[in-house]
Amino acid sequence: MLNETIRNEATLEPVSLTDAFDPFYNDCRHTESLPSWLQLQQDIRTQLNRLLAHAQTLAESDLQQLNRSIDAYNACVPNMHMRKPQLTLTDLDDALESWQ
């Protein structure tokens, strides 16, 4: 069974697995608010759910607003591999899964 802690090689002090394997955990666990990129991620998910619920009356301006939010997310996300592409009307259904 995997031990719940590992040892920091430099200090030989135990380091929790969460600290070792999730570099954002240390920064986020003591703050009362989320980093801007996580807040944007939640906002985009909410906007996307709202757009999908009203897909019959979807306007191009709604999609543009969502894409502006995605641009803001991509600008502040800490890793380039976490960036997301802009959305089109044809890929809204598939996009929800990538934002979960």
Distance, in Å, from the CA atom of 73 to the CA atom of 86, rounded to the nearest integer, reads 11
- pLDDT given at position 89: 82
Residues in contact with 72: Cβ distance below 8 Å, sequence separation at least 6, in sequence order: 40
Higher pLDDT, 64 or 24: 64
- pLDDT given at position 60: 82
- pLDDT given at position 25: 58
Given a contact cutoff of 8 angstroms between Cβ atoms, the answer to whether 67 and 86 are in contact is yes
Average pLDDT value for residue range 19-39 = 67
In this model, does residue 15 exceed pLDDT 80? no
In this model, does residue 37 exceed pLDDT 50? yes
In this model, does residue 14 exceed pLDDT 80? no
Given a contact cutoff of 8 angstroms between Cβ atoms, the answer to whether 36 and 76 are in contact is yes
Enter the pTM of the model.
0.67
Share of the chain above pLDDT 90, in %: 26
Share of the chain above pLDDT 70, in %: 68
User: Shortest CA distance to 17 belongs to which of 9, 7, 27?
Assistant: 7
- pLDDT given at position 91: 84
